[in-house]
Structure 1
């Protein structure tokens, strides 16, 4: 890479805010990083958190990414059916040194043909759907396969960003950024994944949210 590293995030309506802002916060501190948020139009992008994000570029004006990052969110289902979005991902990925996703952004990579035969991960509620885009699920928070890096749900985007910074500029740079943002997690409950969460909590959340959400995702992927 050159001294300047162009990092392009895809933005779309219904994006999960932290899928974008967590890795963006860490990556923005990498020496030489220049971030862009690209959307189909310059209109504000409604997030799942009740506020909007203003893109810096539309698809036509976005710079070629050195690092392409595709966040997730419930809006992925609509984005899967948007030809301009999928074309933008494919075009950018062809020239990127690193192609990455957070959470269900993996399905956008997959729909663009980028996960065929690759090991990958996504949010735990959707991992069973990865074979629909030609990927092999690997049970890990961060999965690297060549220049493709996928990460699990939401907060894993921060781990992904620090992992990638270490690959590009070394452990010391990544550790300094981790220290600067005081990323020293000590969650109040040891239950951020179904492997560790109480069974009743996992079952309740699946019934309320993820069974139906995964069914909608599957229908979109099969359509």
Structure 2
């Protein structure tokens, strides 16, 4: 089973590394990182570089396709080689998946037309403009598409996918191996649970503008 994880400049690391840790541990899984322009791909924090050797033409028929999000997503919305590749591999893939704003790229490529999907809360409403029904669920499975909400939700999506691919037992074995049993110290992981001050701070970071109270 070949799992193709798409990278592009400005990707968010956990979007792809979380699912990589899960899916890469499934029996007979072969994970390959793929990019439009092979070479050193730098993440959004500009502190992690992945040397990707496989170009799009090198991975013509993966069983699972995964694309993450990040600030660099905005540069991947125009139709071109990546969108053409996504449409081509989607025709034969068992699963086409995304994490965070990666669903925006899938939507722009046209593969999510008429489907339900999720994304990071900051981008969720924009899916409707591409003929996609937005969902606030953390993980959405619709047909052979699986989409995850923001960043950390990629682990949940990958475990869901692991269960669908290899069975519940195999997925739970992976969950135990990576000791995925989250107990966050704060209850601020969603728009509904975060305080107004935390929400404002998050929006300031995401939009690059100063928060209303002048603090970060």
Q: Provide TM-score, normalisation by structure 1.
A: 0.89
| Cα offset, 1:172, TM superposition | 0.7
Q: Residue in 1 aligned with 2:22? A: 26
> How far, CA to CA, are the matches of 2:70 and 2:100 in structure 1?
7
- Superposed, 1:24-173 pairs within 5 Å as 24-49=20-45, 50-81=47-78, 83-173=80-170
Q: After the TM superposition, which parts of structure 1 deviate over 2 Å for at least 4 consecutive aligned residues?
A: none
> How far, CA to CA, are the matches of 1:41 and 1:204 in structure 2?
35
> How far, CA to CA, are the matches of 1:134 and 1:35 in structure 2?
30
Provide, for residues 182-211 of structure 1, a one-character-per-residue CA deviation record: whole Å limited to 9, x for no partner. Answer: 111111101111111112111232134248
Q: Provide TM-score, normalisation by structure 2.
A: 0.92
> How far, CA to CA, are the matches of 1:144 and 1:82 in structure 2?
25
Count of aligned positions:
208
Where does structure 2 lack aligned partners over 5 or more consecutive residues?
210-216
Deviates more, 1:39-48 or 1:202-211: 202-211
1:75 counterpart SS class: helix
CA contact (8 A) 2:14 2:152 kept: yes
| Cα offset, 1:41, TM superposition | 2.1
> How far, CA to CA, are the matches of 2:134 and 2:207 in structure 1?
18
Deviates more, 1:172-181 or 1:201-210: 201-210
User: Cα RMSD between the aligned structures?
Assistant: 1.4
> How far, CA to CA, are the matches of 1:123 and 1:182 in structure 2?
24
Q: Residue in 1 aligned with 2:3? A: 7
- Superposed, 1:194-205 pairs within 5 Å as 194-205=191-202
Where does structure 1 lack aligned partners over 5 or more consecutive residues?
213-223
| Cα offset, 1:88, TM superposition | 1.3
| Cα offset, 1:79, TM superposition | 1.3
2:34 counterpart SS class: strand
